[in-house]
Amino acid sequence: MSDVVRLEVADGIGTIVLDRPKMNALDSTMQHRLVEVAEEADQRSDISAVILWGGEKVFAAGADVKEMAEMSYTDMSAHVRLLQRFSRAIAAIGKPTVAAITGFALGGGLELAMCCDFRIVASNAKLGQPEIALGIIPGAGGTQRLPRLVGPAKAKQMVFTGRPVSAQEALSIGLADQVVEPDEVLGAAQAMVAPFVGGPAQALKAAKESIDRGLEVDLQTGLEIEALQFTGLFATKDQKSGMRSFVENGPGKATFEGI
């Protein structure tokens, strides 16, 4: 069913809602839909920022183990491409993104959350990569994104043991950006991204791409990426209006069109 993942848009914010009771287990249907809605959110001009939301009880408790349990090596060699495609699609959204996490974000659920720029976490949430207990490792980016967020030693500890971390520990190691009460998670996520609505969309996209791509290369190459992105913004209307407003009216008064 396509409504297991849907995109809701209000006030310039797109909310990708995971809705597969009871635990939002990420089966292949959800993974395909995540690709579709991520691409839609990226392309729509009426969306300035994106929230990933699993509902009030759980973000996502991982991939659908029942679906994968009897897969052969040949089966998984094809399926793993989908695992990486849905996570890459979320990471490729060229707008600010935040995961609003309640309950559990485990396995594929945590991998999905780590594709976002920010993570707001309920105080009673648990985050982890428990795949080792199944005799496997994370396959949707966990071994790569987790160490980039928390460092290799902390990432190895989490992946080697499968131990979930609390919201407060996630905050202390850099896996979470903010911890709030469970009933405040979605509102906090909306408040975080609201300032981006009506902002310089092309500059935000360039900033995100410069940082994300720069983390994957050496410093000198990263500086070249930044230079190209910086220069390219001088072909946008927002650069002209932003700088003109600064000169004529001072900082913080520009109106942007996102083009």
Annotated active-site positions, please? 111, 131
Q: What is the DSSP string of the chain?
A: -GGGEEEEEETTEEEEEE--TTT--B-HHHHHHHHHHHHHHHH-TT-SEEEEE--SS-SB--B-HHHHTT--HHHHHHHHHHHHHHHHHHHT-SS-EEEEE-SEEETHHHHHHHTSSEEEEETT-EEE-GGGGGT----SSHHHHHHHHH-HHHHHHHHHH---EEHHHHHHHTS-SEEE-GGGHHHHHHHHHGGGTTS-HHHHHHHHHHHHHHTTS-HHHHHHHHHHHHHHGGGSHHHHHHHHHHHHH-TT-------
